[in-house]
Amino acid sequence: MTARRILNVVRKEWRLMARSPSNLLFVLVVPLLLVGQALLLTWIVPRFLAVGVPDSSTIAPGLPDADRLRVLLLDQFRFFVLLIPAMVANVFATLSIVEEKITGTLEPLLATPVRTWELLLGKILSGAIPALVVAWASAGLFMALAVASGWGPLLRWVVGPSWYLAIFLLTPAISTLSFVFGVIGSSRAGDAKGAQNLAVVVVLPLFALIAVQVTGLVHFTPLLTLLLSLGIAALDALMLRVAVRLFARESILVRWR
């Protein structure tokens, strides 16, 4: 019964999403912009920079400086891709509960036997799954365009255990976390803007992660990426419990007008 209820929420959310052209456009345009930006940087930066990657760096030793720089930039995409679910969540997850309040559907919904965690998990999965699919599709598109740009040989320095772990473990974990934060924001806020302000908190650590990687302060080895992914997955489970606790049916019904 629980699975049926969760699936029910997911299907309803997808149905509504599919019937809103502006939402679909947003989901498609944001990843394309990020892919485009990453490729543009990879193409343009080595042309303007006289300074290459320091010789002491472990990045693609033996390659010309411009290619080593390209490898460095291509490698950043695995972290840029994390921004996709975070940004999609900031729009969809933050609306998930607020919109139910606005349309008056929340009270009849809470009068059904659905449990809070079933409802919230359904809301989270309904956004996190498409965000994840879009993130993976973006990664695929990025690779295809990189190959088409003639950087195929450089990819062997980029795509390795760390890349796979980042794309297939870290991205789902971040995607889920983004939506958990979005849903928490949505259930606590009085309007969509307030919810988005609360949910933006998840984007800030991602920027920090990118900054740490770009500046070379920390090198994300496969082990570190794995530990980070598992840590965030554990945080997902913890935050889902927090979301259920924070979803105060009573105050949502009483305070919302």
Partner 1 sequence: MIHIENLSRRFGERPAVDRLSLDVSAGEIVGLLGPNGAGKTTTIRMLAGMIAPSSGAASVGGLDPSTQPERVHEVIGLLTESPGFYERMTARENLAYFARFYEGIDVSGAVGRSLDRMGLSDRGGDRVGTFSRGMKQRLALARALLHRPRILFLDEPTAGLDPEAARDLRRFIVGLSAEDRTVLLCTHNLTEAEEICERVAIFRTRLIAFETPSALREARFRPAVRVRLAGDATGLVASLRDLPFVRAVEPGPEEGGLTVRLDDVDRDRPGLVARIVELGGDVLEVAEERKTLEDVYLDLVREEE
**Nearest approach, Cβ of 153 to partner 1 (angstroms)?**
48
**Nearest approach, Cβ of 107 to partner 1 (angstroms)?**
5
Nearer to partner 1, 57 or 116 (CB): 116
Do the beta carbons of residue 127 and residue 184 sit within 8 Å? no
Q: How far apart are CA 135 and CA 190, in angstroms?
A: 30
What are the Cα distances from residue 164, in Å, to 30, 98, 206, 224? 22, 36, 18, 13
**Nearest approach, Cβ of 11 to partner 1 (angstroms)?**
8
End-to-end CA distance of the chain: 32
Do the beta carbons of residue 133 and residue 46 sit within 8 Å? no
Q: How far apart are CA 120 and CA 149, in angstroms?
A: 43
**Nearest approach, Cβ of 96 to partner 1 (angstroms)?**
13
Nearer to partner 1, 241 or 255 (CB): 255
- Counting Cα atoms < 13 Å in the Cβ hemisphere of 175 gives 24
Query: Encoding tokens for residue 140?
Result: 């695929």
Query: Which residues, in sequence order, are CB contacts of 177 under 8 Å at separation 6+?
Result: 202, 232, 235, 236, 239
Nearer to partner 1, 120 or 139 (CB): 120
Nearer to partner 1, 23 or 57 (CB): 23
**Nearest approach, Cβ of 86 to partner 1 (angstroms)?**
26
- Residues forming contacts to partner 1 in the complex (CB under 8 A) are 1, 4-5, 8, 12, 15-16, 19-20, 103-115, 249-250, 253-254
Nearer to partner 1, 56 or 112 (CB): 112
Q: Which single residue is written with the structure tokens 């309904």? A: 126
**Nearest approach, Cβ of 13 to partner 1 (angstroms)?**
10
Nearer to partner 1, 62 or 113 (CB): 113
